[in-house]
Amino acid sequence: MPTTLVAEESQITNLNLMFGASGVECNELVTTLSSEATTFDIIQSIIKTKPTEIDSPFSVLDLRVVIDLMNKWTTNLPTVKPFYAVKCNPNISLLSALASLGSNFDCASLAEIKSVLSLGVSPERIIFANPCKMESHIKYAASVGVNVTTYDSVGEVEKIKRWHPNCELILRIKPEEETGAQFRLGLKYGAFLNEVPKLLKAANMAGLKVTGVAFHIGSMGANAQAYSGAILLAKTVFETASQLGMPKMKILDIGGGFSSGSKLDEASLIINDAIKSYFENEENLVVIGEPGTYFAETTFTLATKVIGKRVRGELKEYWIDDGIYGTLCMTLYDYFIVTCSTLKFGSKHENVTCKDTKTYPSTVFGPTCDSTDTVLKEYPLPELEMNDWLVFSNMGAYTTACATNFNGFSSSAKNIYIAYLS
């Protein structure tokens, strides 16, 4: 059995020392008084103790959550090595924490590879998981020793042969179903089963070694049962390569699409059973996954300040200093469930949470001059005043990573506070 990571005090201390010495991009390190302190407690403390110094909007990264998620991954998927999908949230503090906990990394570009390597991570812990890469990015990967990448076309084989002939290939295939997925990556990537022999032969003729198979069942709401069919399909590709007389494959990449809730329990049962059923006789098999949302979503909490107010009868309208062009971009999607709390630091009764007071249908706008920048519509909120705060949970996945500087406004990306145990 593999060693399970445990969220012990010594482990937190190691993370504290790492952040203290690494110069990660954050405003300061926030020490919680006890393990019982919540992220909400930390946000209140930051606002209360530094009312004139605090830059808003800001996010809090809770390292305790990162550790708990790694523990759960290791317990539920003991044979699957995590390769964190950097695109989901490239915050250097999160990458540092994951690196220290033993995670590997899924990078899709030169910039992402550079960011991970800057932390002292070995290039062997990186997969260049982009089936269509710029030539300059392939050259860079070759120069720094990132020697595993994905492909799904003959054209990509030609580029890799020319610019990175020592690179090992993983063939990206298209799962037969992406049931329920809000983001169906199969629309853009993956080879059909009838294309597999041609792609394997192309790599073999080019003198490139194909060491495995990758797939992605889609993100946000994908049916976990799809993993079983995709793993069976991958087994078929392993067999096809063997029939063509190619070297034995060793890597099974089951992609991403994992969530941090109870769905991981369901997915892990299906994945573990499928690996055992279809790859039981495969010696030295290496199984990897590419979790992004799983590690990022619940680890970040966003704090935004009320910068404007308008009352129209029962309807209350507020402006905050972050919006859909910034960290709150995910609120545009119907499937995103907004979890919003309030802090009355600008109201008469300072530092009062607003859980048991009367609520009103409220509209919340972002700071830009675009009327599309509307975060909430007719959302039940207590009456707020200028300099009160709205706090949004689960704001780590595809938030700051997708934010813009539209209209000159920045997201919370530059203002990250790290929560850890003292």
pLDDT score of 11: 47
| β-strand pairing of 300-312 with 315-320 | antiparallel
pLDDT score of 188: 74
332 CB contacts (<8 Å, ≥6 apart)? 324
Strand, helix or coil at 418?
Answer: strand
Angle 314-319-320 from CA coordinates, rounded to 5°: 130
Beta-ladder partners of 340: 392
Question: What are the residue ranges of CATH 2.40.37.10 in the chain?
Answer: 28-62+300-421
Is the Cβ–Cβ distance between 231 and 251 less than 8 Å? no
What CATH superfamily classification does 28-62+300-421 receive? Lyase, Ornithine Decarboxylase; Chain A, domain 1 (2.40.37.10)
pLDDT score of 35: 66
pTM, two decimals, is 0.89
pLDDT score of 34: 61
Rounded to 10 degrees, the C-alpha dihedral 339/91/222/392 comes to 0
Rounded distance between C-alpha atoms, residue 211 and residue 281, angstroms: 17
The residues annotated as belonging to the active site are 369
Question: What are the residue ranges of CATH 3.20.20.10 in the chain?
Answer: 64-296
pLDDT score of 6: 35
64-296 under CATH 3.40.50.300, yes or no = no
Q: What are phi and psi of 229, to 5 degrees?
A: -65, -40
pLDDT score of 276: 95
Report the residue count for the chain.
422
Task: Name the DSSP letter for residue 345.
Answer: S
Whether cis (ω within 30° of 0) applies to the bond prior to 361 is no
Q: What is the CA radius of gyration of the chain?
A: 23
79 CB contacts (<8 Å, ≥6 apart)? 2, 272, 275, 287
pLDDT per position in the chain (422 positions), as tens? 222 333 344 444 455 445 544 444 445 555 554 667 788 888 888 888 776 667 789 999 998 899 999 999 999 999 999 999 999 999 999 999 999 999 999 999 999 999 999 999 999 999 999 999 999 999 999 999 999 999 999 999 999 999 999 999 999 999 876 555 455 555 678 999 999 999 999 999 999 999 999 999 876 556 788 899 999 999 999 999 999 999 999 999 999 888 776 678 889 999 999 999 999 888 899 999 999 999 999 999 999 999 999 998 888 999 999 999 999 998 887 667 888 999 988 765 555 555 557 899 999 999 999 999 999 999 999 999 999 999 999 999 999 898 999 999 888 777 878 776 55
| β-strand pairing of 416-421 with 58-62 | parallel
Rounded distance between C-alpha atoms, residue 77 and residue 6, angstroms: 15
Q: Which of 301, 300, 306 is nearest to 364 (CA)?
A: 306
Provide the token pair at 421.
């145990």
Q: Which of 126, 233, 213 is nearest to 170 (CA)?
A: 213
How many CB atoms are located within 10 Å of the residue 233 CB? Answer: 18
